[in-house]
Chain A
Amino acid sequence: MRDTPVTAAARGLLSCHVCGLLSRRGHNGRTLHCPRCSAPLHFRKPNSVAHSWAFLIAAYILYIPANVLPIMETSSLFGAQADTIMSGIIFLWHSGSWDLALVVFIASIMVPLLKLIALTLLLISVHSRSTWQPLQRAKLYRVVELVGRWSMLDIYVVAILAALVQIGALATVNAGPGALAFGAVVVLTMFSSMEFDPRLIWDPLQKERIDHE
């Protein structure tokens, strides 16, 4: 095709997210507003990478307590018990339901971790203006976006159990501090991927530097 693909940003054009009005960028590089609905305008999401990094780092930090602290506290006639995600998986594995163990492992440990790694990879590549495999990276981003909400599975289970199993002295299920951390990790990664502007993957392909504020 062409050496320099035509993008709106390359042409100095901005599209309003609210009313869809296309406007030209002036020469006094400031924060811009839509001339029609006066919504803020920008070529790329402002501070996208920085925000994304912030959420990602927070998610990384909380990933540790999410896995170390008990996610569910069960107390019954036979004594109280606090389970972390991993101890639940080990229990499932030992009790013979390896398939269930595998599902929980993938959904609760692998997916969040892979999401964190994928986002890290995307951010680093964007940061270094890498031109490596932009299409693959764009696909990866879409997968991350898609998978995001499904990681809340554990939290749903714990929330439902904690609400249902409250039979006084016989059995009680409470969410542990790990559940909070885990939920925070999922939400933070979702924010991180939301903040990330996938157009940045393609920007290094432009020859000329785009001043995106």
Chain B
Amino acid sequence: MSEMQQEPELSDIPEAVPEPKKRFSLQLVWLIPIVAAIIGGTLAVKTYLQKGPTITITFKTGDGLEAGKTKIKYKDVEVGLVKDVTIAKDITHVIATAELKKEVTPYLVEDTKFWVVRPRISGGSVTGLATLMGGSYIGVDVGTSKQPQRAFTGLEAAPAVAMDVPGSRFQLHSADLGSLDIGSPLYFRRIQVGQVVSYELDKDGNGVTFKVFVAAPYDKYVRANSRFWNASGVDLTLDANGLKLDTQSLMSILIGGIAFQTLDEGGDAAPTSSNTAFTLFATRDEAMKNRDTISQSFAMIFNETVRGLSQGAPVDFRGVTVGEVSGIHVEHDTRTKEINILVDMRFYPERLRSRAVGAVPDPKEYRAILNEMVAHGLRAQLKSGNMLTGQLIVALDFFPNAPKANVNWATNPPRFPTTPGSLVELQATLMQIAKKLEKLPLDEVVGDVRQTVQTLDATLKDADRMIRKVDKDIMPEMRMTMEEARKTLGAAKQTLSADAPLQQDLRETLRELARTAQSLRVLTDYLERHPEALIRGKQEDKP
């Protein structure tokens, strides 16, 4: 229908107006994908360029680690993000895979350390409180090594001292941990100059090795002859000078600490290099006193009892301690079929200081000196150290009359000659006393005593007889007298009792007397009022 109508109108439709063709027609629309490509390309390139290295860190536990959330921070600046947390194949630890920023690539070296920052209260300080709110993060301490690394083992706790703090590290050996902990302060002249970085049990289990950090510039005061001691708590000393209280600071009383000081004598030793090992003494006195760096062990054979001698007992020379007993053993000599008591001693030759000019003589020289001394009669002897407790000590002294002997350097440890101790001498004296006692005329004394006893016996018998006589003759009479007395007393009692006739008579008499007195009183009264009655007689009462 419409088509039929349209058909004839076709010619009426006006013709469109043509326009001269534009010579220049740039398809501007193609700029859009080009711009998009440029933007996309830049983003891609930027992302690629910014993409930092991926590292793995192993931790003992995944506590606080969250894939895609836990950040890695260096000096509290974000440098990376944990992308994945998985359990290692042997399920003993956790592996965190982290992507770091490109800038930190050169710092990913062998001794770079990672640890999970958690809230921590120790060493008198509170750290990581922010992690309570914002969740934990991984801390980084950049190492100094040049060896790049991508797989790290995470620390359980933050290192006490960051790598970039200038200073030196030293090792301290101690018998036990005491009250020290990581972060415990280190004092030099009561100024805190460092802290305990780590501690670990020695491999043989015989002690504890501390690693301490002394910050620059104080580390130059640590010298070869510096002494470290445990300055924890309070050191209370009571001696001839009175009461002495020694502490470092309130902090060290509470949390423990280490102090060090350089010995005055021996001049200024050169500052030591890092990682030098020192001994950590228990107290300051011990640290400053014990200066023995050389010790020589000796074995001594005693043929007497060593009851009362203990390990650590002093070895003294005329009252000056020059060593200590390090061991007591019983030795069976298979050749001589003898049982000997072997006492080991640790001898500090430095304590026998020579007055000769010059520094410490070498061990060989000591040998020669010691040999000479032994030739002059130097012997070891057991002596009573304390009369009350019976403790023994080993005393060195010269016995010029002692039989010749020398130090047997061939055995290990060398044998030091001994001489019988004072106890043995005492024993001999006691024996002599016993012998003297034996010689006393005991028999005669006993005879005399017996005679005396016999005489005494006779005397006692006489006394006995006398007593018996008294018993037999005097006692019956006594009894009779007593009976008589009792009778008399009974009669008296009868007379005096309340219902006795005497008593009744007496009472009646008394009553009569009372009545008489009454009449008398009436009479006197009457007479008082009517004195004339005496003359006129009693008047009748008028009605």
- Residue numbers of A with Cβ under 8 A of B are 6, 11, 13-14, 21-26, 28, 30-36, 38, 40-41, 47, 50-51, 54-55, 57-59, 61-62, 64-65, 68-69, 77-79, 81, 87, 177, 181, 184, 188, 195
Question: How many angstroms between the C-alpha atoms of A57 and B17 in the bound complex?
Answer: 35
CB closest residue in chain B, given A91: B68
Q: Are A57 and B19 in contact (CB under 8 A)?
A: no
Shortest distance between the CB of B499 and any CB in chain A (Å): 116
Question: How many angstroms between the C-alpha atoms of A41 and B68 in the bound complex?
Answer: 57
- A58 / chain B contacts, CB cutoff of 8 Å: 32-33, 35-37
Question: How many angstroms between the C-alpha atoms of A38 and B27 in the bound complex?
Answer: 23
Q: Given A50-B27, A78-B135, A79-B134, decide whether A188 and B16 contact each other with a Cβ distance below 8 A.
A: no
- A11 / chain B contacts, CB cutoff of 8 Å: 10
Q: Are B18 and A54 in contact (CB under 8 A)?
A: no
CB closest residue in chain B, given A59: B36
Q: Are A79 and B14 in contact (CB under 8 A)?
A: no
Q: Are B15 and A55 in contact (CB under 8 A)?
A: no
Q: Given A30-B19, A64-B40, A78-B135, decide whether A24 and B14 contact each other with a Cβ distance below 8 A.
A: yes
CB closest residue in chain A, given B3: A6
- A59 / chain B contacts, CB cutoff of 8 Å: 36
Shortest distance between the CB of A9 and any CB in chain B (Å): 13
- B21 / chain A contacts, CB cutoff of 8 Å: 30-31
CB closest residue in chain A, given B11: A24
Question: CB < 8 Å: which of A35, A68, A188 contacts B36?
Answer: A188
10 closest residue pairs by CB, A with B? A58-B36, A32-B16, A57-B33, A30-B18, A58-B33, A33-B17, A61-B40, A61-B36, A23-B16, A31-B19
- A54 / chain B contacts, CB cutoff of 8 Å: 27, 29-30, 32-33
Q: Are A32 and B17 in contact (CB under 8 A)?
A: yes
A-B contact pairs, 12 of them (CB 8 A): A21-B14, A30-B20, A31-B22, A33-B16, A34-B17, A36-B14, A55-B32, A57-B36, A58-B36, A59-B36, A77-B133, A77-B134
- B69 / chain A contacts, CB cutoff of 8 Å: 79, 81
Question: How many angstroms between the C-alpha atoms of A86 and B412 in the bound complex?
Answer: 78
Shortest distance between the CB of A106 and any CB in chain B (Å): 24
Question: CB < 8 Å: which of B18, B29, B30, B39 contacts A26?
Answer: B18
Question: How many angstroms between the C-alpha atoms of A31 and B3 in the bound complex?
Answer: 28
- B40 / chain A contacts, CB cutoff of 8 Å: 61-62, 64-65
Q: Given A61-B40, A79-B134, decide whether A25 and B16 contact each other with a Cβ distance below 8 A.
A: yes
Question: How many angstroms between the C-alpha atoms of A87 and B83 in the bound complex?
Answer: 13
User: Given A23-B14, A54-B30, 6 more contacts at CB 8 Å?
Assistant: A24-B16, A31-B22, A33-B19, A55-B32, A58-B32, A64-B44
Q: How many residues of B contact A (CB 8 A)?
A: 31
Asked if B71 lies at the interface with its beta carbon under 8 angstroms from chain A, I say: yes
Question: How many angstroms between the C-alpha atoms of A21 and B17 in the bound complex?
Answer: 13
Question: How many angstroms between the C-alpha atoms of A195 and B30 in the bound complex?
Answer: 13
Shortest distance between the CB of B15 and any CB in chain A (Å): 5
Q: Are A184 and B16 in contact (CB under 8 A)?
A: no
CB closest residue in chain A, given B81: A82
Question: How many angstroms between the C-alpha atoms of A26 and B69 in the bound complex?
Answer: 69
Question: How many angstroms between the C-alpha atoms of A11 and B10 in the bound complex?
Answer: 9
Q: Are A79 and B71 in contact (CB under 8 A)?
A: yes
Asked if B13 lies at the interface with its beta carbon under 8 angstroms from chain A, I say: yes
- B514 / chain A contacts, CB cutoff of 8 Å: none
Question: How many angstroms between the C-alpha atoms of A119 and B304 in the bound complex?
Answer: 112
Asked if B527 lies at the interface with its beta carbon under 8 angstroms from chain A, I say: no
Shortest distance between the CB of B118 and any CB in chain A (Å): 15
- A24 / chain B contacts, CB cutoff of 8 Å: 10, 13-16
Q: Are B27 and A62 in contact (CB under 8 A)?
A: no
Shortest distance between the CB of A148 and any CB in chain B (Å): 17
Shortest distance between the CB of A76 and any CB in chain B (Å): 9
Question: CB < 8 Å: which of B17, B29, B32 contacts A35?
Answer: B17
- B39 / chain A contacts, CB cutoff of 8 Å: 61-62, 65, 181
